[in-house]
Chains A and B, each alone.
Chain A
């Protein structure tokens, strides 16, 4: 798939939902628990599969997951039990230091 900035993607096998914050200009395979993520608004065939028990690291609401080399950044809007992976490699959670609320 070729994700677009602003696109919402969901996992067919758990509750994980992400929003695309940055995206590379290339085709990638984006999976959660090993199963391809889908755009719920796109009217394409919904892929199905079973969650890979070895890819159950979980996602956390509000956290960003980024592959800096690829230029991909996802923001988790609904948490789930699966691990996000791009082209077969887990996408690491981006560490950020929250700032004090300034406005």
Chain B
């Protein structure tokens, strides 16, 4: 199948329904298809081998995605927050692409030798060609979307998501036309994030109108949720934390479902959100770009059961990523590749049709049994709930001991005055690395760092106790909420104290 078929189904099944944008002036499904057909003709005429999208989220994004699919070329959404050097490196991979960029980004495309137009000009180009011939290639192995990983742990890699991966994710996890006509989804992550791509496909397929927020602020998010009657929303943990901290009216009467993912959710934030919004259904989704988005889900009943339970095992599930989706198999393996039993931490491997595990310019990283190495550490409990314990690449090696920062971060976060925490390995002549931490405090709080160190030592042990705990106004995170650990290390080494507005 080609993802363009998902749009065809929507256009034939509920063509008059507004699926993109505001209710009063949004695009109906059949119009979205007309525009995709027109835009595909423009892409073919340009003899382009990809569609590069370097702009904020908006109605042009789904048009670009389906135009690329209909023209048989990949869509390449690129991070508009990258520096010029990194941007030039990525764009150099796509010299023959059809470019769409916001005006302030157009130069980057020109430097790479690409044609460029704004999202508005792109839609206008599509409008004049809506009657064009439409011949959708049906190769399920073709690349539908190429997404560059964020590069927080290594050099950005281009992940190839094939039509087969994305359509099997949608068909396997969403009911066609399952949404109510009044439903609306709000997407707050930028288009270069896998969740933005999967969100277009799953909402369209469900028949749920979706709107996008160009730049997240708690005030705008809350206002849009109320004004547009948003029923479903997806946020990254830092967004939910900011919404919960803001001195604002947080009433969200129509909001029914809030999904979160992309980084670790602090327990205090989700507990507070569950209390403040007792009628909202919370969904924790874990997945990677390489797995076409979500592979495990902690559902609404599981959230409520966990927070209401006295059983420590059930209560602990609030911090879990939930259970595997149908069609997804998980394995936890030790350092020698052997599968370990429940309760034992190891590397998380995943298998399923939606799993791509392929990078541009590299051979497939899928092993002989069909599994992909997520490079995340974690464990399963007896009932199959997955607990994520950080990236393998973040492991601190102190002396000969491997130490997972997540375990120490969890202990730091249990201090009621600590709202955010990071633990890293800092280069050390004697030990190779030694452990340091940085924490963010609740407004107005003061911290006795020696007492906190003693607390960590009492719970864990001496070799897992940070030698130094810095107090910072905030931690360096990407706009999609991922911690940038190498910046933490740099700041600690250079003794730089970030100001509150430095990111």
| Given contacts A62-B178, A99-B325, A100-B297, A21 and B1 within 8 Å (CB-CB) | yes
Q: Check A70 for interface membership: any CB of B closer than 8 A.
A: no
Alpha-carbon separation in the docked complex, A82 to B1 (Å): 26
A8 to B2, CA, bound (A): 13
Is the CB–CB distance between A96 and B5 below 8 Å? no
Nearest neighbor of A20 in chain B, beta-carbon distance: B1
Residues of A close to B177: CB separation below 8 A: 61-62
B199 cross-chain contacts in A, Cβ below 8 A = 103
A74-103 Cβ-contact flags toward B at 8 Å (1 or 0) = 010110000000000000000010111111
In the complex, whether B259 has a CB less than 8 A from a CB of chain A is yes
Cβ of B1 and Cβ of A96 under 8 Å apart?
Answer: no
* Interface residue from A21, A98, A103 paired with B171 (Cβ < 8 Å): A21
CA distance A62 to B294 in the complex (A): 21
By a CB distance below 8 angstroms, the chain B residues around A75 are 9, 171, 176
* Cβ-defined contact, B2 with A6, below 8 A: yes
Q: Is the CB of A101 within 8 A of B9?
A: no
Contact of B283 among A4, A5, A101 (CB under 8 A): A101
Contacts of A17 in B (CB 8 A): 12
Known: A75-B176, A103-B195. A6 touches B138 (CB 8 A): yes
Check if B12 sits within 8 Å of A103, measured CB to CB. Answer: no
A-facing mask of B174-185, CB < 8 A → 1, else 0? 111110000001
Contact between B234 and A103, CB atoms less than 8 A apart: yes
CB-based contact A103/B257 at 8 Å: no
A13 part of interface (Cβ distance < 8 Å): no
Please tell me if the beta carbons of B257 and A61 are within 8 angstroms of each other in the complex: no
Nearest Cβ on chain A to B49's Cβ, whole angstroms: 23
Minimum distance in angstroms from B3 CB to a CB of chain A: 11
Would you call B39 an interface residue if the criterion is a C-beta within 8 Å of the partner chain's C-beta atoms?
no
Closest to B285 in A: A102
Number of A-B contacts (CB under 8 A): 79
Residues on the A chain within 8 Å of B294, using CB: 102-103
- In the complex, the answer to whether B300 meets A100 with C-beta atoms within 8 Å is yes
- Known A6-B2, A99-B173, A101-B283; contact A77-B257, beta-carbon cutoff 8 A: no
Other-chain contact of A5, B1, B8, B208 (Cβ < 8 Å): B1
Query: Min CB distance, A75 to chain B, in Å?
Result: 6
Nearest neighbor of B14 in chain A, beta-carbon distance: A61
CB-CB under 8 A for A99 and B13, given A6-B5, A6-B138, A8-B8: no
Distance in angstroms from A6 CB to nearest chain B CB is: 5
Contact A96 B175 (CB under 8 A): yes
Kindly provide the distance from the CB of B407 to the nearest chain A CB, expressed in whole angstroms: 27
A42-87 residues with Cβ-Cβ distance < 8 A to B are 61-62, 75, 77-78
Q: Which of B1, B140, B202, B325 contacts A101 (CB 8 A)?
A: B202
Q: Residue-by-residue, is A7-45 near B (CB-CB < 8 Å gives 1, otherwise 0)?
A: 010000000010101000000000000000000000000
Judge whether B377 is part of the interface by a CB distance below 8 angstroms. Answer: no
Least Cβ–Cβ distance between B111 and chain A, in angstroms: 33
Report yes or no: A102 in contact with B12, Cβ–Cβ below 8 A. Answer: no
A-contacting residues, B165-215, CB 8 Å: 171, 173-178, 185, 195, 198-199, 202-203, 206, 208
The answer, among B5, B185, B202, for a CB contact under 8 Å with A19, is B5
Complex Cα spacing A13 to B234, Å? 43
Q: Which residue of A lies closest to B183 (CB)?
A: A101
A78 CA / B300 CA spacing, docked (Å): 31
In the assembled complex, B293 has its CB within 8 A of some CB on chain A: yes
Residues of chain A with a CB closer than 8 A to B297's CB: 99-100, 102
Q: Are A102 and B175 in contact (CB under 8 A)?
A: no
B1, A102: Cβ atoms under 8 Å?
A: no
In contact, A103 and B198 (Cβ under 8 angstroms): yes
Among A5, A6, A96, A101, contact of B206 (Cβ-Cβ < 8 Å): A101
Contact across chains for B259 and A102 when beta carbons are under 8 A apart: yes
A75 to B9, CA, bound (A): 9
Residue of A nearest to B296 (CB): A102
Q: How far is the CA of A4 from the CA of B281 in the complex (A)?
A: 39
B299 on the A face (CB < 8 A): yes
Q: Give bound CA distance, A6 to B299, whole Å.
A: 31
Q: What are the residues of chain B within 8 A of A103 when measuring CB–CB?
A: 195, 198-199, 202, 234, 259, 261, 285, 293-294
CB-CB contacts of B223-235 with A at 8 A, as 1s and 0s? 0000000001010
Q: Which residues of A contact B234 (CB under 8 A)?
A: 102-103
Task: Tell me which residues across on chain A come within 8 A of B173, comparing CB atoms.
Answer: 99, 102
Known: A8-B8, A77-B13. A100 touches B283 (CB 8 A): yes
* A6: B residues at CB distance < 8 A: 1-2, 5, 138
Nearest chain A CB to B277's CB is how many angstroms away?
A: 15
Nearest chain B CB to A60 CB, angstrom units: 10
With the chains together, A96 CA to B206 CA distance in Å? 14
Q: Which residue of A lies closest to B325 (CB)?
A: A99
| CA A82 to CA B27, docked complex, whole Å | 32
Ranked nearest first, the 8 interchain pairs of A and B with the lowest CB-CB distance are A102-B285, A62-B176, A62-B177, A77-B13, A102-B294, A100-B283, A98-B175, A77-B9
What is the interface of chain A, defined by CB distance below 8 A to chain B?
Answer: 4-6, 8, 17, 19, 21, 61-62, 75, 77-78, 96, 98-103
Q: What are 23 A-B interface contacts by the 8 Å CB criterion?
A: A5-B1, A6-B138, A19-B9, A21-B1, A61-B176, A62-B13, A62-B177, A75-B171, A96-B175, A98-B175, A99-B326, A100-B257, A101-B185, A101-B203, A101-B232, A101-B283, A102-B173, A102-B261, A102-B297, A103-B198, A103-B202, A103-B234, A103-B259
Sample of 13 further A-B pairs with CB below 8 A, known A96-B175, A99-B299: A19-B8, A61-B177, A62-B178, A75-B176, A78-B12, A99-B174, A100-B259, A100-B299, A101-B202, A101-B203, A102-B285, A103-B199, A103-B234
